[in-house]
Amino acid sequence: MKAAVVHGKDDIRIEEYPTPQAGPGEMVVKIKASGICATDIKILLGQGLPKKLPTILGHEVVGEVFELGEGTAGFQTGDRVAVYPIAVCGECYYCRNGRHNLCMEEFGLGHGIDGGFAEYVRLPRQIINAGGVVKMPQDLSYEKAALAEPLSCGIAALKANRVKPGDRVVVVGAGPMGLIHLKLSKWAGATVIMADILDKRLETATRMGADFCVDVSQMDLFDEVMRITEGTGAEVVITSLGIPKIIEQSLKLVRNGGTFNIFGGPPAGQPITVDPRWVHYGEIIITGTFAATPVQFKKAFDLIAAGEVKVEDLITDRFTLDNMLDAIEKAKNQEMIRGIVLF
């Protein structure tokens, strides 16, 4: 099969690769669409590059069941499916408590095993057994369904932050995931303040329903948030970027009793300072959210299928496997919101 194969840091090549086969309890999916995530770009540039190379990245996968291994009940070849990308044991402390994304044995597509920037992908039994293969209704497009994975990560943050109607939510970073936080916070009935340094991103945020946009290259975010919230600070602050310094500066945007979420994955070795007195007397809740559970994935999928959260406007660029290297350049330069590889 043809695949975008990662050989090392910033070294990705479109080439022939062995077509996977389904072992017992496994399935092979013929990929129809594969979303390009900031995580893929980060890994490609060396942050968290797997030890075992070559590999295939891509964890936002939808397609058609192509081959079923022995003992894979409930599916037929030709079924249209969306895939939760994490293989989980189902038995450890975290899995038993519904926090599968923290599974002690976890691995997943583009992270331990080959992912979705290829014509076919093999799904291990752990993904199938966790309910991670979701059948798609006939009228749902592959493009939309491919956004279930990123949307599920936003759902995880929404839950961790207990966003309620009437909350003021500040989203720091109006990139692809920031826009997903915007959409979900609006869906949850919140007022949303988006912050970014790129004008273009804020224009998009405005179009997607942001109540306030703050261009932090021009304005002081703290002053603006205090003005908008009449001096209290926001009930919820989500930092949707991986820059420790900005995360630290954003702490003061949250009100007493509020929730501060670290969503974007920062690089290693750059701690920030938090005043324990402030956390104590202000009863500040600091949350972290990473990936999502199979239940959150299904929830995201259902919201998309029902049209409750509109996601199609997040896709700005479409590629094929052959011109996928252009996609990577565009993503590195933050020139697109969401790119998708179509097959």
The residues binding Zn ion (CB under 5 A) are: 37, 88-89, 92, 95, 103, 150
Nearer to Zn ion, 95 or 170 (CB): 95
| Residue at 275: amino acid letter | D
Least distance CB 85 / Zn ion (angstroms): 8
Among residues 197, 184, 182, 291, the alpha carbon closest in space to that of 243 is found at 197
Q: How far apart are CA 242 and CA 260, in angstroms?
A: 14
Nearer to Zn ion, 109 or 194 (CB): 109
Nearer to Zn ion, 150 or 242 (CB): 150
Least distance CB 93 / Zn ion (angstroms): 8
Least distance CB 238 / Zn ion (angstroms): 16
Distances in Å between the Cα of 95 and the Cα atoms of 87, 294, 311 are 11, 10, 29
Contact 120, 18 (CB under 8 A): no
Q: How far apart are CA 225 and CA 15, in angstroms?
A: 49
Least distance CB 282 / Zn ion (angstroms): 33
Nearer to Zn ion, 92 or 243 (CB): 92
Least distance CB 279 / Zn ion (angstroms): 30
Nearer to Zn ion, 43 or 214 (CB): 43
Nearer to Zn ion, 49 or 92 (CB): 92
Least distance CB 328 / Zn ion (angstroms): 15
Nearer to Zn ion, 43 or 88 (CB): 88
Q: In terms of C-beta density within 10 A (0-12 exposed, 13-18 middle, 19 or more buried), how is residue 218 classed?
A: exposed
Among residues 172, 183, 248, the alpha carbon closest in space to that of 214 is found at 172
| Residue at 329: amino acid letter | E
How long, in residues, is the chain?
343
Least distance CB 59 / Zn ion (angstroms): 6
Beta strands (DSSP E) in the chain are 2-8, 11-16, 27-36, 60-68, 80-83, 86-87, 107-109, 112-113, 120-123, 133-135, 168-172, 191-196, 212-215, 234-239, 254-262, 285-288, 315-319, 338-342
